[in-house]
A and B are shown apart, each in its own frame.
Chain A
Amino acid sequence: MSKYFSPFVIPFCIGVVLLFAFCIWKYIRWYKGFDRLQRAIIRKNIFSWKFLPAIWEIVMESLLHRRIFKRNLLLGYMHASIAFGWFLLIVVGFFEAEFGIQGSKPFWVAIFYRFFQHEHNTFPSAAVFTQVMDGLLLFVLSGITIAFVKMIYSRIVGMKKATKHVIFDHFARVSLWCIFPFRLLSESVTAAMYHNGGFLTQTIGDILPFANEYVEYTYWLLYSLSLGVFFTAMPFSRYMHIFTEVFLIYFRRLGVKENEQKSGYTMYELSACSRCGICIDACPLNKQLDIKGVQSVYFLRDIRYKMLKDEIADNCLMCSRCASDCPVQLDLMAIRRQMRDKKELDTKNNYRYLDTVRAFNAMDRVVYFAGCMSHLTPGIPDAMEKIFETVGQKYWYMDKEASICCGRPLMQQGFHTQASELRRKNTQLIVQSHARLLITSCPICYQSFTKEYKLPIKVMHHTEYIDMLIKSGKLKVNKDASLKVTYHDPCELGRGCGIYDEPRDVLNSVAVLMKTPEEREHSLCCGFNLGNTVIELEQQEKIRNAALENLQTGNPDLICTACPMCKKAFTRATEAKVMDVAELVVKKIGE
């Protein structure tokens, strides 16, 4: 045992012990914070086959960083080289030590193998291992180099803005960056003295001017120190994501989701954020208004370090543009809602009127729910009524007179109790109507009905419904080949519910749909989303104008959208014609 001990390994050993102690303590504590629903899901699925896709995703994302590769090759390479390269260094190093030193040995030997094993032909393929280890070290070092360049000039990896880190993160990063150069130097010095290096360490070792025991020991000590410091800092810094992402992917694959309140699962999500800063460039508040410090990366950091201010939680459009870019696929919108919780505001008496609204028997009809926003754009419900009449579909216009909000705008602002009151009443009305299909014109309501309600009937957005009518031949439309249109994906319908193709198919059957530079998952928010209560009208208009500019690419005759809110936002701005998909379809109804 004493043969494999040298005092320089102490910092490393302390680091490892602290790392595991802190991690285990935190993970257990967070797991205990799971709510009943989340625990029930885990209990139900823990012995299912769901762990297989989870392992696949862990390899693809935590090690290879596939989603970052898709975004930018160099950025992906940077993350993969550090994560996957280091992982392989540990694994291959472990086997090298297993083969190279027979019998029992302390765990640090694999890490400091060359210091303890000066022979280089202790087992048949030892030379291959030496070269592989050098190759892996070079792989990691290349990643560190890119990271260093990125710190100075982030555009090299396709990022306009990089995250501004807190001092502690800088400290952790320096310790991480020191590990590999020190490993290179210490192995090189050892190689110079004992000729046990590979193509990299031996070459460098041979040109080093000083190679004696003191220099060697100093470098190995520095290597061990940087490891120890990094491991100790890791559970408290952004590097906690390294392990946490693995757990998060696993829980997520089992089916665990964010709920209305912050839970232990939220803690896993917070720590799984690597603060890569990809969300900053995606955020329209950054792009159009140059508002800093509110983006998801800062928002999650502030929650984790318990320094979140209300104005930061509230300053978000909830357009989920960042969530679609997030390489860890964190449920950013749900966490934002949790932090806006305003349950302490008592509004019980405001909802008494709900009980005066009576149900309607719509057994042989479909239910049409225009939504509050559509009441401000009467052209949309008007068009829908004409479409129902054209296809001979009887309908019940549920919110024509006594309209009850779907509850989502309240929920977005953290009024969860109040929103649930509205949901309760709407659910009751819908169930008692005995209808089998609910059609809504508002993507906000649509998302609410499909995700927050548990309705026993099918829910469709009107673009889906019209698409179905056209494809089944019930609704005949004429295609106007001279009409060029562009389509704006509403946040709530596109990124929110994944409805991209139906409105496009409808538009293609009545006009010529043109492409815009930013569409589908990358579509720009119209700026008038109900999510944000902080920014001013002029700021909303700036965001809107950017979206509008994108939609006016190629000078379309008409801009189409599928959301009353987006429609209002655009009509306020421009003399250009803006229409809902339904309104255009009504104009193109054929024989």
Chain B
Amino acid sequence: MRTIAIIGAGPAGIEAASVLAAMEETEVLLFEKSATTLDNLRDKAFLFPDFSSAADLVEIMEAKLDRDNIKLHLSTAITSVVSTSSATEAGGIMAWELQDASGVRYQADAVLVTTGYKVFDAHRKEELGYGIYPGVITSIDLEKKLKEGKILNAVGDTPKKIVFLQCVGSRDEKSGNHYCSKVCCVTAVKQAIEVRKMLPEVEAYVFYMDLRMWGGGFEEMYREAQEKYGVRFVRGRISEAASTFDGKIQIKSEDTLVGLPLKMSADLLVLMVGMEPSEGTKTLTHQCNCADAYGFATTVNPHLRDNETAQPGLYVAGSCKRPMSINDSLTDARSAALRIAEYLK
């Protein structure tokens, strides 16, 4: 009987658990710090690039956990992961011991960290007015509104103009995050299309540095957003936001293609917040000596051993490594599961 501990029940954790549990003589311990699985996914309405329902994916993922040999521990935050034997003692396999916040210990033969990301706290960019003006929201807030099917501006009316701002907390030296969060570009395109579908009268603007349409179908979506849905893309950062007397948001920016400063007032300013390592990711990567400068997990080799850490038996997958889309997280989890299976063979 082999026991594999997986920390974090997001898409990556669940996918890896279901793949590993399909093997014989295997028990999977799946730990989740909050009371439900798939927390970040549950906030979403629709997924790019096919506008499929996030709720459907949640349902499918939950069904994958329906196995006897997957022991799901909800509301269990793992605070410590240590190897208790050296590799030579146990015939190449190290014994691992995990401990949760209440002090309960768990034993495992291998550990997979899938602790994921958290969204950038937009309060840290005070000049954009998040938390000060009700008309300034994040992409997560908008996703929730899309899910409810109701978008209102700060004074409770149907908005006439919505502005999206890319790269909030990503590719931003001043907030300390030099990396690209990868999913925000396409998310803004997706959300702009959804907003236009829901409210055909609304004007949608997307302010960007450059649009990174890296995935299959993304570029097509971007073209469609412009041609079919009339979403306007402006190359420029927004330097500051202020409120107007009628509860709108006035933004100051520069259209860098025209080379002129620009002022605009909008009902809603949507901040496309980036990804940061979650608290759990930061704690565990630092403890296991595999943290990069931001607290994301580093692996042995980005090409061939991208799920392995320097310690045998300790694996990582999903957005605890770097910003990743849901699809990429799922793929990465399957590859990690395969590696763990090989290791425990």
Contacts and interface: CB of A to CB of B under 8 A. Distances in A.
B59 interface: no
Contacts of A571: 123-124, 126
A378 B174 contact: no
A567 B126 CA distance: 10
Interface in B131-150: 132-133
Given A382-B132, A572-B175, A377 B242 contact: no
A537 B173 contact: yes
B176 interface: yes
B175 A378 contact: no
Interface string A372-383: 000111110010
B240 A375 contact: yes
A378 B175 CA distance: 17
Contacts of A375: 127, 240, 242
B320 to A, nearest CB: 19
Given A400-B242, A571-B126, A378 B133 contact: yes
Nearest to A382: B132
Contacts of B124: 571-572
Contacts of A377: 126-127
Interface string A22-48: 000000000000000000000000000
Contacts of B133: 378
Nearest to B176: A572
Contact of B241 (A378, A537, A568): A378
Contacts of B176: 572
B126 A376 contact: yes
A474 to B, nearest CB: 25
B129 interface: yes
Nearest to A370: B242
B129 A378 contact: yes
Interface in A545-591: 567-568, 571-572
Nearest to B124: A571
Contacts of A382: 132
Interface residues of B, number: 16
Given A400-B242, A571-B124, A378 B173 contact: no
A378 B174 CA distance: 17
A555 to B, nearest CB: 20
Contact of A376 (B123, B127, B173, B243): B127
B79 to A, nearest CB: 18
A537 B175 CA distance: 11
A572 B127 contact: no
Contacts of B242: 375, 378, 400
A375 B174 CA distance: 17
Nearest to B126: A377
B119 to A, nearest CB: 15
Chain B binding site: helix, strand, loop or mixed by DSSP? mixed
A400 B175 CA distance: 26
A540 to B, nearest CB: 10
A327 B240 CA distance: 43
A377 B241 CA distance: 10
A400 B250 CA distance: 11
A152 B127 CA distance: 51
Contacts of A572: 124, 174-176
A574 to B, nearest CB: 10
Nearest to A372: B240
A378 B134 CA distance: 13
Contacts of B129: 378
A379 B129 CA distance: 8
Nearest to B123: A571
Interface in B224-272: 239-243
A376 B125 CA distance: 9
Interface string B149-192: 00000000000000000000000011110000000000000000
Nearest to B252: A375
Nearest to A400: B242
A374 to B, nearest CB: 10
Contacts of A379: 126, 132
A106 to B, nearest CB: 72
Nearest to B250: A401
B223 to A, nearest CB: 35
Interface string B100-141: 000000000000000000000001101101001100000000
Nearest to A375: B240
A572 B123 CA distance: 10
A377 B240 CA distance: 9
A535 to B, nearest CB: 14
B104 to A, nearest CB: 28
A177 to B, nearest CB: 51
A568 B174 CA distance: 10
Interface string A514-544: 0000000000000000000000010000000
Contacts of B174: 537, 572
Interface in A155-195: none
Contacts of B239: 376
B341 to A, nearest CB: 39
Interface in A490-512: none
Interface string A415-438: 000000000000000000000000
Contacts of A400: 242
A400 B244 CA distance: 10
Interface string B1-29: 00000000000000000000000000000
Nearest to A573: B176
Contacts of A567: 126
Contacts of A537: 173-174
A376 B240 contact: yes
A379 B126 CA distance: 8
A314 B231 CA distance: 45
Contacts of B241: 378
A469 B174 CA distance: 36
Interface string A259-302: 00000000000000000000000000000000000000000000
B50 to A, nearest CB: 37
Interface in A346-386: 375-379, 382
Interface in A461-482: none
A123 B173 CA distance: 80
Contacts of A378: 126-127, 129, 132-133, 240-243
Nearest to B242: A378
Nearest to A379: B132
A375 B175 CA distance: 18
Interface in A390-423: 400
Contacts of B126: 376-379, 567-568, 571
B15 to A, nearest CB: 31
Nearest to A376: B127
A568 B123 CA distance: 11
A376 B132 CA distance: 12
A23 B178 CA distance: 57
Contacts of A376: 126-127, 239-240
Nearest to B127: A376
A537 B177 CA distance: 12
B265 to A, nearest CB: 12
A379 B132 CA distance: 6
Interface of A: 375-379, 382, 400, 537, 567-568, 571-572
Interface of B: 123-124, 126-127, 129, 132-133, 173-176, 239-243
12 contacts: A378-B126, A378-B127, A378-B133, A378-B243, A379-B126, A382-B132, A537-B173, A567-B126, A571-B126, A572-B124, A572-B174, A572-B175
Given A376-B239, A568-B126, 5 more contacts: A376-B127, A382-B132, A400-B242, A537-B173, A571-B123
List the 7 closest A-B pairs by CB distance, nearest first. Answer: A376-B127, A377-B126, A375-B240, A378-B129, A378-B132, A379-B132, A537-B173
